[in-house]
C-alpha cells in the first residue's frame, strides 16, 4: 500500500541507527525532543551486526579453541579438540540478536519513532524516506546524519564468493584452510588472529612497513606480528596486491614485494583496506553540505555542518572510524540541539585492537607530544613483573604512561598485553579528570590484578618504583 504523502513532523530526525545514531536518538529523546530515527537495514548498524560485536565473538571462540590445544605449559592437555563451526556461527548470531533486540527496546522505551527505509534530503528541513512499497515525507527542525561507512572495494579485487570483505569473513560457512588478507590494519589483524587461532594458514599483505601502518608504536605492533608468526601466519610488509584469479577451489593472489612478483593460493582473499563514508546518494550535494573529496563531512566542535540545523557524526566525519567515537559525538550533537554548551574533545578517546596480545592507546604518545613541543616522560612497566599476568600465563607486553615533565600530568598511555582493552579505561579517566602520575600511584589497586600495572607505571613516573629496579 502506498502511503499518502502528507508530511509527518518531528523535532529531531536521525538518519542511521548504528552506535552513533541510536545513541543520539536516545539522548535527544531524554532531552525532551520528539525523535524519529530512520534505518534501512538492521538496528545497531555495522558495529552490532557485522562489525565490532560479531568479530569479538569470533575472536573469543578462536581463543577458546587455541587455549584448549596449547596449555601444556601449565600442565593441561586435551585430546580430540574439535570445532563445530556452524555452532560457532550460531552462537555468534545469538549474541548479535540479543544486542539488536536490546537496541530496539531502548529506542521504543525512550519513545523514539523507528522508521524503516532509505532517506533522501529534499531540503534543509525535509527528508523523503522510501522502502520497497512506499514513500513518506518527514519535516524536521534538526537532523543528525549518522550513516556510517562501508568497506572499500579495490578495482582489481571485486567482491565475489571468494573475494570477501569483513562481513563475508564473519559469515564463512567453514574454517578456511588458507586465507589471504590484504591490509594489515585493525580489521585485518583481528580477523587474521581469529582464524589463525582456528588453525587457518593466514597470509597478510600489508602495503606499509609494519602492521597498523604506524597507528601504534612499533614496539607494540611488533609484539602482535611476532605472535601472529608463532601461530603460523606469514606477514609480508611493503607488499602491493596486484590481482586475483578465482578457480573452483579458491583463489590465486598476485602481489609484488621486494621488487619480485609472487603468488599465493588460498580458499579466500579478504580485503581490508579501509572504509568509505556513506554520504552519497542521499541528496547532500544539492543541500550544499560541506564535504571533502572523499565524502567526509566537515563539522564544528558541536558536530554541526555548515547548514546550522544539520549535524553529522561517526564514520562520515573527520577522525578515526570508531564506534565509541560515534556514540560520543551522538551525545554531543543531541545536547547541542537542546541548547547545551557541549563540545567534542577527542583527547580521551581510546583506540583498541583485539589482537594477541591486545593493544590500546589513549591521548598522546611520546612522539606526538614531542612533535607538539610538549616535554614529556615515558614510564614503562612490564606485564612480566605482575603477579596476575604470570598466573594467567600471559606475561608478554607492557604499559607505558606519558606524563608532562613539568607537573606529572597524565596526557597519554599505551598498553600491549592481556585485557588492554579494559585497562585503558582508567587511563582515559585519568586524562579526562586531569590526574597526575602521583594521583594514580597513590590510588590503591586490588592485588593481584592487571590493574596494578597502571599504579606501578605511575610509580616509575614519580621515581619510586617498587617491583622493578629503576
257 by Cβ neighbours in 10 Å (0-12 / 13-18 / 19+) ranks as middle
pLDDT value for 132: 87
- Is the pLDDT at 410 greater than 80? The verdict is yes
CB-CB contact of 197 with 63 (8 Å):
yes
Asked if the model's pLDDT at residue 2 lies above 50, the reply is no
Please state, in angstroms and rounded to a whole number, the distance separating the CA atoms of residues 461 and 425.
Answer: 19
Is residue 196 within 8 Å of residue 226, measured between CB atoms?
no
On the 0-12 / 13-18 / 19+ scale of CB atoms within 10 A, 463 is exposed
Topology (CATH) of 357-461: Enolase-like; domain 1 (3.30.390)
Q: Residue 1 has what pLDDT?
A: 40
Task: Please determine, for residue 19, whether its predicted confidence score (pLDDT) is greater than 60.
Answer: yes
188 marked among binding-site residues: yes
- Annotated ligand binding at 463? The verdict is no
184 among annotated binding-site residues: yes
At 84, the pLDDT band (50, 70, 90 cuts) reads: very high
Q: Is 422 annotated as a binding residue?
A: no
74 belongs to an annotated ligand binding site: no
Domains of the chain, by residue range, sit at: 8-150+276-346, 163-273, 357-461
Q: For residue 56, say whether it is annotated as part of any ligand binding site.
A: yes
Tell me if 163-273 shares its fold with 357-461. Answer: no
Interacting residues of 305 by C-beta distance below 8 A, sequence separation 6+? 145, 289, 290, 297, 298, 299, 311, 312
CATH number of the domain located at residue range(s) 8-150+276-346 in this protein: 3.50.50.60
pLDDT at 248: 85
Instruction: From 322, 338, 329, 326, select the one nearest 302 (Cα to Cα).
Output: 329
Task: Say what the pLDDT of residue 4 is.
Answer: 55
- In sequence order, the β-bridge partners of residue 411 are none
Band (470; pLDDT cuts 50, 70, 90): confident
Q: 254 labelled as ligand-binding?
A: no
Greatest CA span in the chain, whole angstroms? 76
Q: Which residues pair with 320 in a beta bridge?
A: none
Query: Mean pLDDT of all residues in the chain?
Result: 96
CA 399 to chain centre: 21
CA–CA gap between residue 269 and residue 253 (Å, rounded): 8
Query: Which letter does DSSP use for residue 74 in this model?
Result: G
Residue 119, annotated ligand binder? yes
CA–CA distance, 16 with 21 (Å, rounded to integer): 5
Tell me whether residue 417 is annotated as binding. no
Task: Give the Cα separation of 59 and 263 in Å (integer).
Answer: 28
pLDDT tens digits for 117-166?
A: 999 999 999 999 999 889 999 999 999 999 999 999 999 999 999 999 99
pTM for the structure as a whole: 0.96
- Phi-psi category of 393—alpha, beta or left, where left has phi over 0 and alpha has psi -120 to 50? left
Nearest to 454 by CA among 385, 389, 381, 392: 381
| CA–CA separation, 464 and 469 (whole Å) | 9
Alpha helices in 302-378 (DSSP H): 323-337, 366-371
Q: Residue 446 — very low, low, confident or very high, per pLDDT cuts 50/70/90?
A: very high
Confidence tier at 54 by pLDDT (50, 70, 90): very high
Question: Does residue 106 register a pLDDT over 80?
Answer: yes
Q: What percent of the chain shows pLDDT beyond 70?
A: 99
Q: For domain 163-273, which CATH number applies: 3.50.50.60, 3.90.1150.10, 3.40.630.30, 3.90.180.10?
A: 3.50.50.60
- Span 270-291, average pLDDT: 96
Note the residue count of the chain. 470
Element (H or E) spanning 375, and its range?
A: none
Name which of 8, 7, 14, 3 is nearest 107 in CA terms: 14
Tell me whether residue 190 is annotated as binding.
Answer: yes
Distance CA 200, CA 192 (A): 9
Would you state the pLDDT for residue 458?
A: 98
Give the mean pLDDT of 184-206: 98
Q: What is the DSSP letter of 438?
A: H
Say whether 243 counts as a known binding-site residue.
no
Cα–Cα distance between 273 and 225 in angstroms, integer?
18
| Residue 18 among known ligand-binding residues | no
Residue carrying the nine cell digits 608504536: 217
Q: Are strands 275-277 and 8-15 parallel, antiparallel or unpaired?
A: unpaired
- Which residues participate in catalysis according to the annotation? 447
- Name which of 380, 374, 450, 367 is nearest 409 in CA terms: 374
Amino acid at each position: 500500500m502506498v502511503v499518502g504523502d502528507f508530511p509527518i513532523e518531528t523535532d529531531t530526525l536521525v538518519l542511521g541507527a548504528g552506535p552513533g545514531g541510536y545513541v543520539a536518538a536516545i539522548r535527544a529523546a531524554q532531552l525532551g525532543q520528539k525523535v524519529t530515527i530512520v534505518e534501512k537495514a538492521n538496528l545497531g548498524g555495522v558495529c552490532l551486526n557485522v562489525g565490532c560485536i560479531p568479530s569479538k565473538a569470533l575472536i573469543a571462540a578462536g581463543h577458546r579453541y587455541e587455549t584448549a590445544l596449547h596449555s601444556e605449559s601449565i600442565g593441561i592437555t586435551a585430546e580430540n579438540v574439535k570445532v563445530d563451526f556452524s555452532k560457532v556461527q550460531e552462537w555468534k548470531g545469538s549474541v548479535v540478536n540479543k544486542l539488536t533486540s536490546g537496541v530496539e527496546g531502548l529506542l521504543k522505551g525512550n519513545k523514539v519513532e523507528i522508521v524503516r527505509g532509505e532517506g533522501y534530503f529534499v531540503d534543509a528541513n525535509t527528508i523523503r524516506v522510501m522502502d520497497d512499497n512506499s514513500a513518506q515525507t518527514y519535516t524536521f527542525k534538526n537532523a543528525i546524519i549518522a550513516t556510517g561507512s562501508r568497506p572499500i572495494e579495490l578495482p582489481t579485487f571485486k567482491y565475489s564468493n571468494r573475494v570477501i570483505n569483513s562481513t563475508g569473513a564473519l559469515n564463512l560457512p567453514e574454517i578456511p584452510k588458507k586465507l589471504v588478507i590484504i591490509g594489515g590494519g585493525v580489521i585485518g589483524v583481528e580477523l587474521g588472529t581469529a582464524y589463525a587461532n582456528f588453525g587457518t594458514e593466514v597470509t597478510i599483505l600489508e602495503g606499509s612497513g609494519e602492521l597498523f601502518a604506524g597507528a601504534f608504536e612499533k614496539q607494540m605492533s611488533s609484539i602482535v606480528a611476532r605472535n601472529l608468526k608463532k601461530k603460523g601466519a606469514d606477514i609480508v610488509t611493503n607488499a602491493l596486491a596486484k590481482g586475483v584469479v578465482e578457480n573452483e577451489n579458491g583463489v590465486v593472489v598476485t602481489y609484488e614485494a621486494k621488487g619480485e612478483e609472487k603468488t599465493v593460493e588460498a580458499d579466500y582473499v579478504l580485503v581490508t583496506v579501509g572504509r568509505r563514508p556513506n554520504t552519497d546518494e542521499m541528496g547532500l550535494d544539492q543541500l550544499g553540505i560541506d564535504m571533502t573529496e572523499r565524502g567526509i563531512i566537515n563539522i564544528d566542535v558541536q558536530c554541526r555542518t555548515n547548514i546550522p540545523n544539520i549535524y553529522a557524526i561517526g564514520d562520515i566525519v573527520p577522525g578515526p572510524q570508531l564506534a565509541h567515537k560515534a556514540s560520543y559525538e551522538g551525545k554531543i550533537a543531541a545536547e547541542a540541539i537542546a541548547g547545551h554548551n557541549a563540545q567534542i574533545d577527542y583527547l580521551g578517546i581510546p583506540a583498541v585492537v583485539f589482537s594477541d596480545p591486545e593493544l590500546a592507546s589513549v591521548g598522546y604518545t611520546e612522539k606526538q607530544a614531542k612533535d607538539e613541543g610538549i616535554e614529556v616522560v615515558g614510564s614503562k612497566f612490564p606485564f612480566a613483573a605482575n603477579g596476575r599476568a604470570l598466573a594467567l600465563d600471559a606475561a608478554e607486553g607492557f604499559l607505558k604512561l606519558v606524563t608532562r615533565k613539568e607537573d606529572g600530568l597524565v596526557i597519554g598511555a599505551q598498553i600491549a598485553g592481556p585485557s588492554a582493552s579494559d585497562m585503558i579505561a582508567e587511563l582515559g579517566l585519568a586524562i579526562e579528570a586531569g590526574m597526575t602520575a602521583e594521583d594514580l600511584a597513590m590510588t590503591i589497586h586490588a592485588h593481584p590484578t592487571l590493574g596494578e600495572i597502571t599504579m606501578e607505571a605511575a610509580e616509575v613516573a614519580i621515581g619510586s618504583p617498587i617491583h622493578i629496579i629503576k
